[in-house]
């Protein structure tokens, strides 16, 4: 109780507004709805405006929150986290793995992509062990990391087939702002014989090459709660 009554006033006021907006979808009694309206629009007497602005959560409000609002409070907390995450998210977003068909396309991705974007390029060759599996792993990671640009290019199409011979494939190159951050030749030698997307993810993370993973959408979490 003591902790709840000492919530920062900005958080309390935001919570009141959130609860008022969502209460029409809940089975609240008319008396409690009226109480919420009063809490969301507190009166501000001229002679006590500062005290009212800084007022703490009342015991009456706390009891209402305690009795009815655990689910709503979880939704409110997730909404706050999502808003904060959105404010901190910069740069473009991508869908799927991008297929590059030439050395020129490869250079363009490296040189012209947004400076905050991590670019992961898989250089492969059909029939070389591990290349097909790595392509499948990157397809999965592309959905998990929409701010990372995952690309793949056939070694022959890259114009550098001599440099990337079969013994060096599959190769993963990681760039950011035009700078090469990771150069992993025959990268599957660092993985188990049978590997999955989570293994590739852990490998890249061990070098600090992937950003923080996206938070689940608020709507998706709410649906899971219902289930």
Give the CATH number, domain containing residue 134: 3.40.30.10
Kindly state whether residue 185 falls inside one of the protein's structural domains. yes
CA distance 97 to 107: 16
Q: Which domain holds residue 85?
A: 8-43+56-89
Reference 173, options 127, 138, 214; nearest CA is 138
**Across 16-23, average pLDDT:** 62
Pairing of strands 149-154, 118-124: parallel
CA distance 192 to 217: 32
> Is the pTM value of this prediction over 0.85?
no
Kindly state whether residue 218 falls inside one of the protein's structural domains. no
SS3 state at 201: helix
Specify the pLDDT at position 49.
46
Banded pLDDT at 101 (limits 50, 70, 90): very high
Q: Which two tokens mark 146? A: 């929409």
CB 188 within 8 A of CB 138: no
pLDDT for residue 180 is more than 50: yes
CA distance 210 to 98: 17
Domain co-membership, 110 together with 177 = yes
pLDDT for residue 75 is more than 80: no
Specify the pLDDT at position 78.
77
Kindly state whether residue 50 falls inside one of the protein's structural domains. no
Domain co-membership, 60 together with 113 = no
Question: What pLDDT digit, counting tens, does each position of 134-157 carry?
Answer: 999 999 999 999 999 999 999 998
Question: Half-sphere exposure (CA, 13 Å, Cβ side) for 170?
Answer: 28
Kindly state whether residue 191 falls inside one of the protein's structural domains. yes
CB 218 within 8 A of CB 78: yes
Banded pLDDT at 76 (limits 50, 70, 90): confident
Of 66, 89, 112, the position where a domain reaches its end is 89
Specify the pLDDT at position 215.
59
Domain co-membership, 102 together with 85 = no
Kindly state whether residue 217 falls inside one of the protein's structural domains. no
Tally the domains of the chain.
2
Specify the pLDDT at position 80.
75
Domain co-membership, 128 together with 30 = no
Question: Which range has the worst mean pLDDT, 18-22, 140-144, 208-212, 216-220?
Answer: 216-220
Q: Which two tokens mark 209? A: 């090459």
Domain co-membership, 61 together with 154 = no
**Across 123-140, average pLDDT:** 96
User: What mean pLDDT is reported for the chain?
Assistant: 77
Q: Is 123 left (phi over 0), alpha (psi -120 to 50) or beta?
A: beta
Pairing of strands 179-184, 118-124: unpaired
Of 67, 89, 111, the position where a domain reaches its end is 89
**Across 89-116, average pLDDT:** 90
Domain co-membership, 174 together with 198 = yes
CA distance 69 to 26: 10
Question: What pLDDT digit, counting tens, does each position of 194-205 carry?
Answer: 999 999 999 999
Higher pLDDT among residues 133 and 86, named by residue: 133
> Most confidently modeled of 34-38, 47-51, 187-191?
187-191
């Amino acid at each position: 109780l003591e902790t709840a009554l000492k919530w920062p006033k900005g958080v309390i006021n935001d919570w009141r507004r959130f609860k008022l907006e969502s209460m029409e979808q809940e089975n609240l009694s008319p008396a409690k709805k009226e109480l919420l309206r009063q809490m969301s629009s507190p009166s501000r007497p001229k002679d006590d405006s500062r005290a009212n602005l800084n007022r703490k959560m009342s015991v009456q409000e706390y009891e209402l929150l305690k009795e009815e609002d655990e689910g709503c409070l979880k939704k409110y907390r997730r909404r706050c986290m999502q808003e904060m995450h959105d404010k901190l998210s910069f740069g473009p977003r991508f869908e799927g793995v991008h297929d590059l068909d030439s050395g020129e396309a490869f250079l363009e991705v490296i040189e012209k992509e947004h400076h905050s974007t991590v670019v992961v390029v898989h250089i492969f060759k059909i029939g070389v062990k591990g290349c097909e599996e790595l392509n499948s792993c990157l397809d999965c990671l592309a959905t998990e990391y929409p701010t990372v640009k995952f690309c793949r290019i056939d070694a022959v199409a890259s114009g550098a087939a001599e440099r990337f011979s079969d013994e060096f494939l599959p190769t993963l190159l990681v760039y950011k702002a035009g700078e090469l951050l990771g150069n992993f030749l025959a990268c599957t030698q660092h993985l188990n014989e049978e590997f999955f997307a989570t293994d590739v993810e852990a490998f890249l993370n061990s070098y600090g090459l992937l950003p923080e993973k996206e938070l689940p959408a608020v709507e998706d979490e709410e649906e899971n709660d219902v289930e």
